[in-house]
Amino acid sequence: MPRKKILIVDADVASRNFVARKLIEQNYEVLQAGSGKEGLISAWRDHPDLVIVDPVLADIKGEEIAAKLKQDGRTADVPLIALSGDQSHGRIKSCLDSGFSEYIAKSGQAVAILNDTVNRLFGFGADVMEQGGLLIVFLSAKGGTGTSSLCANLAMNIAQYQPEARVAVLDLVLPIGSIASIVGYEGSQNIVTVTDMPPAETTPEFFRRELHQMNIWRFGLLAGSPDPESSNQMKVGRIWDVITAVKASYDYVLVDIGRSLSKITLPLIQHADLVSLIISTDVSTVPLTKTLLAYLKSKGMRTNSLFTILNRVIGLEGLSKTEAENMLGMKINIAMPYLGTNFAFANGHHQPFSLKFPRDTASIIFQDTARELAVLAQKIRLG
């Protein structure tokens, strides 16, 4: 895939060069302009994929640049980012009103925010996400719903259902990953170490060759952050490259985000082939789930990509499937039975539930659910 091209328009040479170096480190091609006029000429001539503008320019205001770019068919769809030392509310509003997608204040955190924003704006476009393996995201509105356990067990059952398919699991639960302890992974490779690698090294071939294979689980695992301190050091701007490369290497990519909804994980949900929402039978989970669903729909999540699982983790008490559906005002696809101490026993021995207890009714439900997830994800991808 060709490198994305970014144009920086900033009269401050030192600031412009600093930002350019940081973007080049992220494997972007960078163009520079020192004035608004030069920026417009470069944008129309060089066809950048994204433009970063300091709106405080001597010749043309940033708002005017944005308006001209948005009104021209050559650049109308190019994302625009304002990067400025002017943090006034009026300037921020006028820039966003004129066509800028984002406004970032120049500060000590600006580069990290910029990397995240750049990758979020075009790192997970629909064209990219429709390439490579099927992406299934697991999330919940509340902790303690068994999201990570379900993700791992359903990934194993998808691999069992389609033995010729390559399956990968990525743990993006923050600040501490949760799948490694379930499947018994003790290696040093994780999302933090991989995002710290140079972009040229984290190729599809690298993940095909180096992603740790959990043999009994039948999938490759990219473990989550081992501790909160490591999570703080993670280069979030590289996550999009990593997931794109893994998708190019595997047929199914299951990403566990738990309740870690953020600007990092939102694009995954927006462009996933399937979103598996885990709901607890705990009454207090329902209003949180309704709030989460309303937010995701407002952010463009496709309703046909949603697959709901009611997981009875708190015991035999709690809501029934019908009660939960009535409270949520929506259909629940699958209701998992209470797995009792068997689930904890299987997790404690780092074994898939359906291998440890093959005759348990829940094992049949895991198998059926995995088939449904695989078939539905394929159907949605094909349109």
Question: E-strand spans in 47-112?
Answer: 50-53, 80-84, 102-105
pLDDT of residue 311: 93
CATH value of 5-122 in 3.40.50.2300, 1.10.730.10, 3.30.565.10, 3.30.70.1400: 3.40.50.2300
* Predicted local confidence at residue 126, as pLDDT: 54
Torsion, Cα 379 258 209 231, to 10 degrees, reads 150
pLDDT value at position 122? 64
pLDDT band at 365 (very low <50, low <70, confident <90, very high): very high
The residues of the chain that CATH labels 3.40.50.300 are 126-382
* Contact status, residue 171 vs residue 221, Cβ threshold 8 Å: yes
Indicate the range of 16-20, 121-125, 195-199, 372-376 predicted with least confidence. Answer: 121-125
Q: Which fold has domain 126-382?
A: Rossmann fold (3.40.50)
Give the pLDDT band (50/70/90) at residue 29: very high
What is the strand order of the sheet 134-140 is part of? 212-214, 219-222, 167-171, 252-258, 134-140, 274-280, 306-311, 334-336
Can you give the pLDDT at residue 124?
Answer: 53
Whole-number pLDDT of residue 129: 62
pLDDT value at 125 more than 60: no
Q: Which whole number is the average pLDDT over 165-194?
A: 96
Q: What is the pTM of this model?
A: 0.75
Task: Indicate if the pLDDT at residue 207 is higher than 70.
Answer: yes
Q: Please tell me the predicted confidence (pLDDT) of residue 235.
A: 80
Stretch among 122-136, 228-242, 246-260 having the lowest mean pLDDT: 122-136
Once rounded to an integer, what is the mean pLDDT over residues 183-191?
A: 97
Residue extent(s) of CATH 3.40.50.2300 domains in the chain: 5-122
Lay out the sheet containing 102-105: strands in order across: 29-33, 5-9, 50-53, 80-84, 102-105
Q: Tell me if 146 sits within 8 A of 313, measured CB to CB.
A: yes
User: For residue 238, what pLDDT band results from cuts at 50, 70 and 90?
Assistant: confident
Task: Say which range, 143-157, 190-204, 266-280, 311-325, has the weakest mean pLDDT.
Answer: 311-325
Percent of the chain with pLDDT over 70: 96
- Counting residues of the chain whose pLDDT is more than 90, the rounded percentage is 70
